Amino acid sequence: MEKAIFARGSSGTSRPHGGKFENHAKVGEILAERREEGSDREGTGRRMLAAVTAAYGYFNPALLPTPHSPPASSRLPDLARSAPVASQFGSSHTSAKMREILHIQGGQCGNQIGAKFWEVVCDEHGIDPTGRYTGNSDLQLERVNVYYNEASCGRFVPRAVLMDLEPGTMDSVRTGPYGQIFRPDNFVFGQSGAGNNWAKGHYTEGAELIDSVLDVVRKEAENCDCLQGFQVCHSLGGGTGSGMGTLLISKIREEYPDRMMLTFSVFPSPKVSDTVVEPYNATLSVHQLVENADECMVLDNEALYDICFRTLKLTTPSCKQSHSFSILGLSMASTFIGNSTSIQEMFRRVSEQFTAMFRRKAFLHWYTGEGMDEMEFTEAESNMNDLVSEYQQYQDATADEEEYEDEEEVQADDM
């Protein structure tokens, strides 16, 4: 798994219009235009951090694991696969083609964080809850079409798809501060719920609703001039975000194989949840994400719990508590992308919880009753262990290199 934060592309040069050109000049013009088309992800990582901050009520840099980018031969999602799209394009939101991002949020956790995310994005672009622009700077409209579709009446509508297997979360989003800004047809929900069962979200209840979600995704994708990719906000501990979320990701990967897939995945922790089957759901989801996601922003509930109770000394954390500083007040964002193997501790923790339950076949009938086979659990467990071993291998190799360098320095000093 990887954590990567998007960076904003800089302004490009304008291209002359009209006039007669020779064939080779036209080719050069087209190539120049292609170079101008770039990726603007509008500080997605920074915005999502602000959204998570608003949802959880605090921020700490230790909230997230350190970024990773293993070699291309690794089974992990490869950051290099997304590198070619990080180019530049023109500064005007009307004259340059946008590299649109389609946002998808699923399940209760995904929709709650996603709702806060859109509050942050709207505030940053100067868009009010009705979709009207009320800002005071042209910079706010410079790349607004990356996340918004401008309607004929002048309203800005988010490029967002909201899905769930029960209507409760959808109702809370609709009645929220920015609930009226979303396109009504983009709310896709069922009535039965997934009951924290990954199999229901992936094979039964979710499979019945997935075609409706894909129809909405196609419509939004067709409204884009040059679709850059998808970002999915979900949790891995429940049934809808993990089961149906990974099903949707695999379907999108089949239909749009050359578009980038980024996920914001919340990993579960027994400290902040009473759902006993979360290790099953998370392990089954990780197997799908490794195969179908390009980048994963990992949000660890265990780390959130430790920050609340050990660092901030909060007895009853809530969304209304403010964080230590305001991200929205910053005028510039910086990004560090590095390699780290510390994330293996989280995978190892989930794997140990999975193994302790699966050894006793605990609650397995809930999944086999939905059509799953025990071999799927065995394969998912094996893949998770391979993931941990792979990170450990890189960590050991790094330690050996450092030890070798220290020995060389000692020998050089002796000489």
Residues 297, 302, 306, 307, Cα dihedral to 10°: 20
pLDDT band at 352 (very low <50, low <70, confident <90, very high): very high
* Residues in the chain, overall count: 415
Cβ neighbors of 27 (< 8 A, separation 6 or more) are none
H or E stretch at 111:
helix 107-125
Residues 381, 397: Cα–Cα separation, whole Å: 24
311-349: pLDDT as tens digits: 888 877 765 565 555 666 777 777 776 657 889 999 999
Q: What residues does 7 pair with on adjacent strands?
A: none
CB 335 within 8 A of CB 45: yes
Residues 269, 300: Cα–Cα separation, whole Å: 8
What percentage of the chain reaches a pLDDT higher than 70?
Answer: 70
pTM reported for the whole predicted model? 0.74
Q: Can you list the domains of the chain with their CATH numbers?
A: 97-328 (3.40.50.1440)
Q: Which of 152-156, 231-235, 276-280, 410-414 has the lowest mean pLDDT?
A: 410-414
Q: Which of 59-68, 253-262, 270-279 has the lowest mean pLDDT?
A: 59-68
Residues 358, 300: Cα–Cα separation, whole Å: 22
Q: Which of 82-91, 94-103, 146-155 has the lowest mean pLDDT?
A: 82-91
Q: Which of 112-121, 162-171, 300-309 has the lowest mean pLDDT?
A: 300-309
**Mean pLDDT (whole number) for 164-183:** 95
142 versus 234: which is more confidently predicted? 234
CB 35 within 8 A of CB 104: no
What count of other Cβ atoms lies within 10 Å of the Cβ of residue 140?
A: 17
* Residue 330, token pair as written in the block: 């910053």
Q: Name the nearest CA neighbour of 299 among 339, 267, 272, 273.
A: 267
CB 261 within 8 A of CB 232: yes
What percentage of the chain reaches a pLDDT higher than 90?
Answer: 55
If 0-12 CB within 10 Å is exposed, 13-18 middle and 19+ buried, where does residue 152 land? exposed
Residues 131, 97: Cα–Cα separation, whole Å: 21
Residues 325, 270: Cα–Cα separation, whole Å: 29
Q: Given this model, what pLDDT does residue 29 score?
A: 53
229-258: pLDDT as tens digits: 999 999 999 999 999 999 999 999 999 999
10-65: pLDDT as tens digits: 333 333 344 333 444 444 454 445 444 444 444 555 555 455 444 444 444 333 44
Q: Name the nearest CA neighbour of 286 among 339, 228, 346.
A: 346
Q: What is the mean pLDDT of the chain?
A: 79
